[in-house]
Amino acid sequence: MSDGLLTVMAGYCTGPSIPRSTQLWVEALRRHSRHLLLVFDNPAPAQLPPSWQGPDLTLVFERHGGYDFGSYRLGLEQAQTRGLLEPASHVLLCNDSVLGPLGDLGPLLQRMQAAPDQAWGLTASHQLTPHLQSYFVLLGRALLERGPLRHFFESIEPLPSRYAVIQRYELGLSRAVLAAGASLQAWVEPQVVLDPRIGQPAGNPTAFPLSLVELGVPLIKARALRELSANQEGIAATCHLIAARNPELWQALWAESPQRRFWMQQLRIGVLLAAADAERLPERLAWLEGQAQTGVQLLLPISAAAPQQQARLRCDHAQAIARGQLQLLPILEADRPGGDLQQALAAAAVDWLCLASAALWKTSLALSLQALQIAEQPTLPHSQGEPRLWRRAWLLSQPVESLHRLADRMV
């Protein structure tokens, strides 16, 4: 716990109870705060978590319509009234738009509290003008008491849209910090986060959740699991990251989120065909069209020593290849048993693999059921039952003899 940290968390909840994922984030904040003020921009829900009581916690449920900054203002006013501000050395302003913790908050918070008059954000952005992103900003109390910041928080009023709030207050907070003589310090500076696809600075760092976690940010934005545009690194990989780093959080998300099917549809699954399937591709593609699980690819290993066969297949099935339904995997002459499967695995641009079998072609739902299983448990090395889905990375880590045995099962 940080001796002098007062945390104000802005929340919004319209359901009958507080989502478990929010509760986990609150628990993490509470562990590191001298006092935690939860300010919701809505009336109290019917049920509150039993643990949400105690001398270190204050709850405020009030529809003020001021979004996060309205809650920050209200929280600071409450802190002042209740005498919570004075003993605090630092104030953390954060909201419930995040999923975490995905790492230890301790070292980060310690570093941010090293000086009494600094302003820290987890991330910063240059979008429009340089600013700290307001979902997690830590201010030294000495800084908070300076004129520009006092005036900034006193002037917060409800605005008509979330955009207007961001435009005026998120950018305004950073300008107030600068006017108060402090600099903007970000745990991850904007120029540090590069778009892995092009190596150029990422415009909005929070759209790169895997990169941020790699750079030491112990949370991700909840939007990164809901909106494709808010996640440039893949929803499926992000689900895996959460499940691996905080299984309890993943279970909570799976239980309470309406996005389960969305996550399932984001899995990149390939069906590894046998060489003989080259002659039956129209039939196999028709089977693929009938699948409930979308985004599945057929993977056809072909000998690199037969370039004309490869060319013919590319010509005959250009449309399926362009649509991403079919991938040709050129295989060099394999000099040991299982080697061709190993090469196919290395070349396949999918995360999950299913080996073609006679039984597979007779079913249209079984693959979806397997996909549901791995969507729910993203860290599994393989699903249970048939047709089994194998994590490609896990298969690649297996001895080649095991792959040989696996290849023998293919029909």
Query: C-beta of 294: minimal distance to another protein in Å?
Result: 8
Residue type, 401: E
The beta-strand segments (E) located in 172-229 are: 184-188, 220-221
Q: Is the bond into 387 cis (omega within 30 degrees of 0)?
A: yes
179 binds another protein (CB under 8 A): yes
42 binds another protein (CB under 8 A): no
Cα dihedral across residues 317, 321, 325, 331: positive or negative? positive
Piece in contact with another protein (CB under 8 A), picked from 76-84, 129-137, 246-254, 299-307 = 129-137
The binding track of 7-26 with respect to another protein, each residue x by CB under 8 A or -, is: --------x-----------
201 binds another protein (CB under 8 A): yes
Q: 261 or 409: whose CB is closer to another protein?
A: 261
81 binds another protein (CB under 8 A): no
203 binds another protein (CB under 8 A): yes
Q: How many CB atoms lie within 10 A of CB 101?
A: 21
Between strands 136-140 and 119-125, the pairing is: antiparallel
Query: C-beta of 58: minimal distance to another protein in Å?
Result: 29
Residue type, 148: P
Q: What is the DSSP letter of 277?
A: G
Q: 175 or 280: whose CB is closer to another protein?
A: 175
> How far is Cα 199 from Cα 185, in angstroms, rounded to an integer?
23
Binders in 233-292 for another protein, by CB under 8 A:
258-262, 265
130 binds another protein (CB under 8 A): yes
46 binds another protein (CB under 8 A): no
Query: C-beta of 116: minimal distance to another protein in Å?
Result: 20
130-167 residues labelled b (16+ CB within 10 A) or e (exposed)? ebbbbbbbbbbbebbebebbeebbeebeebeeeeebbe
Q: Point out which residues bind another protein (CB under 8 A).
A: 15, 126-131, 161-163, 166-167, 171, 174-175, 177-179, 183-184, 190, 201, 203, 226-229, 258-262, 265
